[in-house]
Amino acid sequence: NMMQNPRVIRQLDEALINRIAAGEVVERPASAVKELVENAIDAGAGRIRIDIADGGKTLIRITDDGCGIPPADLPVALARHATSKLDGSDLLNIHSFGFRGEALASLAAVGRLELTSRAAGHEAARIRVNGGRAGEVEPAALREGTVVELRDLFHATPARLKFLRTERAESQAISDVVKRLAMAEPAVGFILRDISGGGEGRLILRADSEGGDLFDALGARLARIMGRDFIDNALGIDATREGIRLHGYAALPTYSRGAAVAQFLFVNGRPVKDRALTGALRAAYQDVLSRDRHPAAALFIDCPTDLVDVNVHPAKAEVRFREPGVVRGLIVTALRHGLAGAGHRASTTVGA
Ligand code: ADP
Ligand code: MG
């Protein structure tokens, strides 16, 4: 209405900007766990411990033995768009999980965050953020690595809190996230515990660091996470086309599942949920599996970073390939070929 006075346009303050942006990065406790565990992996951790309480709603604590953060950098790590992982401005050449420099700032905006860390050659130090405001850097006691503690997620955004599901459902989502990252990083040890009840807590998942060559380590880790019987009933896949490599394990049709719970896909080491890729997986099994069954698989696609864009979504679960047809073709042909060979082998080894 032209008769009314124009409304004043105001610049939003920093704390509010962070809270709005946080909505994109942190949907639920599991997204917080994902960001924090990815940070630990990026820091070169060999062991990562994840403690949660009440489905992560009241407490998420990630302890790693990675490179740590020097005291003077603690406030910087919490600032928005502050990252140590992007060299120059090359968004195509990303080798770490993180690169947006958004996670810690976002988490600090939606929960009470405490960051304690020790970097080589420095004393341990801690910083706390409450209500979006960071305190002073204080001395702390920590032998190595980093501990990030996030309490009372979404306490400042009751609307968001209301949409969280039961403790059980949120714990399940956290466990899924940790499983996927554990599959992506067989050399890293993971422990996930529910400490709601106090004390040592209840063990949800444990996967010790896998040694051996890469393929063995992956097989051992997948057996640990997906079950020995998956690996025993799966084909090892390794195929390359036009510079794109597909490797991992795909279950024999006889091992199919009713629900699509056991499909794990990774692009350049990053867990993804991508319709085009699951569609290709389905197409590969189309002749050997009825429509109501789902093939179990853990497949890794590795391709030059200029052929894939991981910068599609803040939560980074989607990817965009420059040549989607090549990737689809690779998945369908490699799996069909493997399945055909397996059918042949199985029939020749019957009774053996
Ligand atoms: P990003 O991961 O995109 O860089 P984050 O907000 O998640 O952004 O982290 C900001 C910075 O804080 C990182 O670039 C890294 O330098 C540092 N950092 C965060 N978590 C850890 C950790 N567990 N160990 C060492 N450094 C960390
Ligand atoms: Mg990060």
- Give 51-69 as a DSSP string: EEEGGGTSEEEEEE-S---
Q: Which of 40-49, 241-250, 253-262, 339-348 has the lowest mean pLDDT?
A: 339-348
Residues whose Cβ atom is located within 5 A of ion ligand 2: 39, 98, 103
d(CA 211, CA 193) in angstroms, rounded, equals 23
Span between the terminal Cα atoms of the chain, in Å = 84
CA dist 303 and 292 (Å) reads: 32
Pocket lined around ligand 1, Cβ cut-off 6 Å: 35, 39-40, 43, 64, 66-69, 77, 82-85, 98-105, 146
Q: Are 279 and 270 in contact (CB under 8 A)?
A: no
Query: Residue with the nearest Cα to atom 17 of ligand 1?
Result: 77
173-182, 193-202, 258-267, 269-278: the lowest-pLDDT one: 258-267
- Domains in the chain, ordered, with CATH? 14-207 (3.30.565.10), 227-346 (3.30.230.10)
Please tell me whether residue 328 adopts helix, strand or coil conformation: helix
Residue 196 has pLDDT above 70, yes or no: yes
Q: What pLDDT, on a 0 to 100 scale, did the predictor assign at position 315?
A: 62
E strands present in 214-286 = 234-241, 244-251, 263-267, 270-272
Which of 223, 230, 195 is CA-nearest to residue 207? 223
Residue 350, pLDDT score = 33
Average pLDDT of 228-252?
93
Among residues 157, 207, 163, which one has the least CA distance to residue 182?
207
Output the residue whose Cα is nearest ligand 1's atom 15.
84
Contact between 192 and 178 under an 8 Å Cβ cutoff? The reply is: yes
- The ipTM (two decimal places) reads 0.99
Is the pLDDT assigned to residue 191 strictly greater than 90?
yes
Cα(40)–Cα(184) distance, integer angstroms: 13
Task: State residue 316's pLDDT score.
Answer: 57
Q: How far is the C-alpha of 179 from the C-alpha of 181, rounded, in Å?
A: 6
The pTM assigned to this predicted structure is 0.89
Residue given tokens 């698989």 in the structure block: 297
Model confidence over 61-101: pLDDT tens digits?
999 999 999 999 999 999 877 777 776 666 555 667 776 67
